[in-house]
Amino acid sequence: MHDFEFLVEDFFEGQCLKLREFSKLQDNIITEYGAKAREEYYLKIDKDRIEEARQKFKNKNFERSIEIYQAIECKGLLNDLDNKIIEFCEHHRSELK
């Protein structure tokens, strides 16, 4: 109840400084949470793309495999195997031209 009285006084008699402070804090939390959620979402998508690219490679669909690898945004997820697959697919692509 004390918090409510404090905010009522700030709202009706003050310049709403505390309300603005709380509002900014809430906006910052929402922004931070949103950024983390988007990052996790994109990481999951990229991990799924890597698995799909590897599967396409196993099925000898080299062109599609490299297209999928190129769509990956978080290149830090790629390991040595992925880099070798990309190199192989690019080499195979150049031989076909």
What is the 3-state secondary structure of 37-83?
HHHHHHHHHHHHHHHHHHHHHHCCCHHHHHHHHHHCCCHHHCCHHHH
Q: Is pLDDT of 2 > 60?
A: no
Length of the chain: 97
Q: How confident is the model at residue 16 (pLDDT cuts 50, 70, 90)?
A: low
Contact in structure between 58 and 81 (CB atoms under 8 Å): no
pTM of structure: 0.66
Average per-residue pLDDT in the chain? 84
Quick: pLDDT tens for 44-82: 999 999 999 999 999 999 999 999 999 999 999 999 999
Sign of the torsion angle spanned by Cα atoms 74, 79, 82, 83: positive
